[in-house]
Amino acid sequence: MSHYTWHNVTESSRITTKHSFSTLSFVAEIFIFLYVGMDALDIEKWKFVNDSPGTSIAASSVLLGLILVGRAAFVFPLSFLSNLAKKSPNEKISFRQQVIIWWAGLMRGLFQWHLNIIR
């Protein structure tokens, strides 16, 4: 409906709506990262890794691998689908750009996770 209603509201209403939804999106994202970060730091869930350093390294390696594969499973297929819809070669997402999107998302998530640990 936004296609039809966007042109029928005043400029101030457009700006207010845009900022309201941006703020809601930002708050929802913060809530998700905080929840995931706090859940990951739950001591009860990590008691099994106290047995030996090898178990801790193995659990961390498996989690890191799953994160890498999970992020790639979303970025590359969705970029492929996006490229199918684009007509112009200039608009298509190159493989290099896909790798940058994949890596930037990993670093952003790691940064958010690190901030949750500090707090």
Q: Quick: pLDDT tens for 24-82.
A: 988 888 888 788 777 777 777 666 656 666 777 777 788 888 888 988 999 999 999 99
Q: Quick: pLDDT tens for 2-22.
A: 677 777 888 898 889 889 988
Q: Write down the pTM of the prediction.
A: 0.50
Q: Quick: pLDDT tens for 40-50.
A: 777 776 666 56
Burial of 75 (0-12, 13-18, 19+ CB in 10 A): buried
Rounded-to-integer distance, Cα 38 and Cα 117, Å: 8
